[in-house]
Amino acid sequence: MTSRLDYAHAAPEGMKALGVAHSYVAASGLGKALIELAYLRVSQINGCAYCLDLHTRALISEGFTVEKLALVSVWREAEALFSERERAALAWAETVTRVAETGVPDEEFAAVSTQFSEKELADLTIAIGLMNAYNRIAISFRATPGAVKRAASHA
């Protein structure tokens, strides 16, 4: 995959603005592992190789097992590996990311609201929206995953 343009160089202030939102989410109190899990699921849905690489590595550093990581995309079938809070976050990430299809139904909101306070749910939704934005940027400009860069440098 060949990168189309260096978006951080082309629009540094725009990327800085997204970075401010990223910092807010990181400091929100949701916890790094939960945020990274939501980021990973959003990136799976959107097919963002760059972000899949990044967030998989982050979850490994947070102690996620290979088995759990391998089953994130089918978490409903592997629900025993995920806490109630993680399952609620994954379901919310899916319905919000697919908003044009789902309309984010009331029953989805009611379900996630049993696991998150209003502030936590707002913060989780900001995180999901932010990752959707990052995915669209990385996919549009063909950001090269770190693993691909490392493999190319060793070839």
With CA atoms as reference, report the closest residue to 95 among 111, 79, 114, 118: 111
| pLDDT band (50, 70, 90) for residue 149 | confident
More confident residue, 57 or 152: 57
Residue 121: predicted pLDDT: 98
> Which pLDDT score is estimated for 147?
84
Q: Please name the amino acid found at residue 27.
A: A
19 is a domain residue: yes
Domain tally for the chain?
1
pLDDT tens digit sequence for 43-58: 999 999 999 999 999 9
Residue matched to tokens 């063909």: 142
Residue 88 domain-assigned? yes
Mean pLDDT for all residues in the chain: 96
Half-sphere exposure of 32 (CA within 13 A, CB side): 11
The amino acid occupying position 84 is: E
Q: Tell me if 15 is assigned to some domain.
A: yes
Provide CB contacts within 8 A for 89, sequence distance 6+.
34, 37, 38, 112, 115, 116, 124
| Rounded mean pLDDT, 1-29 | 95
Q: Is residue 148 part of a domain?
A: yes
Which domain does 112 fall in, by range? 7-154
Q: What pLDDT was estimated at residue 2?
A: 82
> 1 in a domain, yes or no?
no
- Tens of pLDDT, residues 66-118: 999 999 999 999 999 999 999 999 999 999 999 999 999 999 999 999 999 99
Specify if 2 maps to a domain.
no
Q: Is residue 143 part of a domain?
A: yes
CATH code of the domain containing 133: 1.20.1290.10
Residue 66 is assigned to a structural domain of this protein:
yes
What's the pTM?
Answer: 0.94
Q: Which two tokens stand for residue 131?
A: 């990752």
CA distance 52 to 47: 8
Q: Which amino acid is it at 50?
A: Y
